Amino acid sequence: MEGRKPRILIGKPGLDGHDRGAKVIARALRDSGMEVIYTGLRQTPEMVVNAAIQEDVDAIGLSILSGAHMTLLPRILALLEENEMGDVPLFVGGIIPEDDALALKAIGVTAVFGPGSSLEDITRFIWEIVECE
């Protein structure tokens, strides 16, 4: 289906209750022409991956401010692999130390966006990584 809108899942895994940033990203992506599925707060890794499967998404964006990124993201990546979705780009935003960001990229996280990342840069990056042919 040529020219279809990319489907992007935005979620908040873990016990983090702050979702303003995720909602800002969701709106920016939607305003740029993408279809956005927002799963809401307090999602388990299983809930995130199940939603990604059900919605047949082109990419997954997660916001993590709780500090649990080194626990949650490897589990989500493993679940994606188990469900033959290992090729779906996973990007993350939040307060993630540089050493952790490098480790996450080494295990398959496509991008890490920290505080101060511009909406324009994030949106442009996602348009570049999704394939909607």
pLDDT tens figures, 24-75: 999 999 999 999 999 999 999 999 999 999 999 999 999 999 999 999 999 9
- Residues 17 and 31: their CA atoms lie apart, in Å, by 24
DSSP string, 43-63: B-HHHHHHHHHHHT-SEEEEE
Helices 20-31 and 119-129 cross at an angle (nearest 10°) of 60
The per-residue pLDDT for 109 is 98
Can you say whether the dihedral through the CA atoms of 39, 43, 49, 50 is positive or negative?
negative
The answer to whether the CB of 15 falls within 8 A of the CB of 6 is no
The yes-or-no verdict on residue 133 having pLDDT over 60 is no
- Residues 28 and 11: their CA atoms lie apart, in Å, by 15
Within the chain, where are the H helices?
A: 20-31, 45-55, 69-82, 98-106, 119-129
Per-domain residue ranges of the chain: 7-128
The yes-or-no verdict on residue 18 having pLDDT over 90 is no
The per-residue pLDDT for 68 is 94
* pTM, full prediction: 0.94
Count of beta carbons in the 10 Å neighbourhood of residue 112: 21
Give me the percent of the chain exceeding a pLDDT of 90: 87
The per-residue pLDDT for 132 is 65
pLDDT band at residue 119 under the 50/70/90 scheme: very high
The yes-or-no verdict on residue 131 having pLDDT over 80 is no
Q: Tell me which CATH code domain 7-128 carries.
A: 3.40.50.280
